[in-house]
Amino acid sequence: MIKQIQQVAEVAGYLWQKGWAERNGGNITVNITDELDADMKSRPAIAGPFAIGLTLPYLKGCFFYAKGTGRRMRDLAREPMQNGAIIRICDDCAHYEIIADEVVMPTSELPSHLSVHNYLIAKGSPYKASLHTHPIELVALTHSQKWMEKDVATKVLWSMIPETKAFCPRGLGMVPYMLPGSVELADATIKTIDDNYDVVMWEKHGVFAVDVDIMSAFDQVDVLNKAALIYIASRALGHEPEGMSDEQLAEMSKAFNLPK
Q: Which residues bind ligand 13P (CB under 6 A)?
A: 24-27, 67, 69-70, 107-109, 132, 180
The one of ligand 13P, Zn ion, none whose footprint includes residue 107, by CB under 5 to 8 A per kind, is ligand 13P
State in angstroms the smallest separation of the CB of 108 from ligand 13P: 3
Q: Spot the catalytic one: 22, 79, 109, 242.
A: 109
Please enumerate in sequence order all residues whose Cβ is within 8 A of that of 236, keeping only pairs 6 or more positions apart, or say none. none
State in angstroms the smallest separation of the CB of 107 from ligand 13P: 3
| Contact range with Zn ion by CB under 5 A, out of 153-161, 200-208, 211-219, 247-255 | 200-208
As a whole number of angstroms, the distance between CA 187 and CA 28 comes to 18
109 is catalytic: yes
Residue 74 Cα distances to 5, 16, 23, 30, 41, angstroms: 15, 6, 9, 18, 28
The smaller minimum CB distance to Zn ion, of residues 88 and 132, is found at 132
Burial of 163 (0-12, 13-18, 19+ CB in 10 A): middle
The one of ligand 13P, Zn ion, none whose footprint includes residue 67, by CB under 5 to 8 A per kind, is ligand 13P
Closest CA to 142 of 182, 163, 173: 173
206 forms part of the interface with Zn ion (CB under 5 A): yes
The smaller minimum CB distance to ligand 13P, of residues 76 and 99, is found at 76
Yes or no: say if 111 and 183 are a contact pair by the CB < 8 Å rule: yes
Closest CA to 189 of 170, 207, 175: 175
Residues near Zn ion (CB under 5 A) are: 206
- The catalytic residue positions are 109
